[in-house]
Amino acid sequence: MSVSEALMYVGNTEESGQNQLEILKSEGLLPHHYVLEIGCGVLHLARYLIPYLNYGLYYAIDPNEWLRKEATNNDWELQDTVVKKGASFLSRDDFDASEFGGKFDYIFSHSVLSHASRSQFYDYMVKTAQVLKDDGLSIASFRLGEDTSNPNWEYPDVNYYTQDTMYDATFKAGLKCKLRSDIRDVHTAICPAEIHDWMEIYK
């Protein structure tokens, strides 16, 4: 696939990546923090987040390695940034970032849980708990609604989860959470095509 096809596949915009960085900064992100992005796609956030962070502090996991390759294929500046800032990537579809061998101050995912099956939704929380620092913060988007009965990952369509399911999944993983309508409102105002609800997850 081409870069344009990769961009169409994920459906995000440049403004989306820029605003995602602003969301993290508004939650206290500083250059010395360790960050994990779950679902980095075509590096919409990474192209802004990697330069902001100190060397070796950006980590990402995504099953679609071809998206990353297309994103950097003809973008020499992004290629150079990834190398010079020591960014690290894993190609996995199970949300398991333990291979990185450390814990993270911030974990961020956009447009991942909105497609996840119920079992994947719960597994995401377990894997987040394994690598989130005790005082760390995870920010994730999902779609709030009646629980989906779909047992599979759904893309480009979406799966929905109730607030009760959100609380249950985080509780069973040893985590806490709360809805962040303020993040939803700000992000939707900037990127009206990206209709997501948002939650914060912490220990």
pLDDT tens, residue by residue, 6-34: 343 344 566 889 999 999 999 999 999 99
Check the CA dihedral 16-20-23-25 and report its sign: negative
The pLDDT assigned to 73 comes to 84
List all residues 6 or more positions away from 146 whose beta carbon is below 8 Å from its beta carbon: 160, 162
Mean pLDDT of the residues in the chain: 91
Number of domains in the chain: 1
Taking a C-beta distance cutoff of 8 angstroms, is the pair 20, 89 a contact? no
- What are the phi and psi torsion angles at 38 (to 5°)? -100, 115
**Pairing mode, strands 176-179 and 88-90:** unpaired
Give me the amino acid identity at 49.
L
pLDDT band at 4 (very low <50, low <70, confident <90, very high): very low
The pLDDT assigned to 12 comes to 55
pLDDT tens, residue by residue, 32-73: 999 999 999 889 999 999 999 999 999 999 998 988 888 888
Nearest-angstrom CA–CA distance, 78 and 113: 27
Question: Residue 36: which domain range?
Answer: 3-202
Biggest alpha carbon–alpha carbon distance for the chain: 45
Q: What CATH number corresponds to the domain at position 85?
A: 3.40.50.150
Angle between helix 118-131 and 163-172 (nearest 10) = 40
Is the predicted pLDDT of residue 83 greater than 80, yes or no?
Answer: yes
| Range with lowest mean pLDDT among 29-33, 89-93, 190-194 | 190-194
pLDDT band at 75 (very low <50, low <70, confident <90, very high): confident
Half-sphere exposure of 62 (CA within 13 A, CB side): 26
Average pLDDT over residues 79-85: 95
Average pLDDT over residues 133-161: 93
Q: Is the peptide bond before 156 cis (omega within 30 degrees of 0)?
A: yes
Q: Model pTM greater than 0.75? A: yes
Is the predicted pLDDT of residue 96 greater than 50, yes or no?
Answer: yes
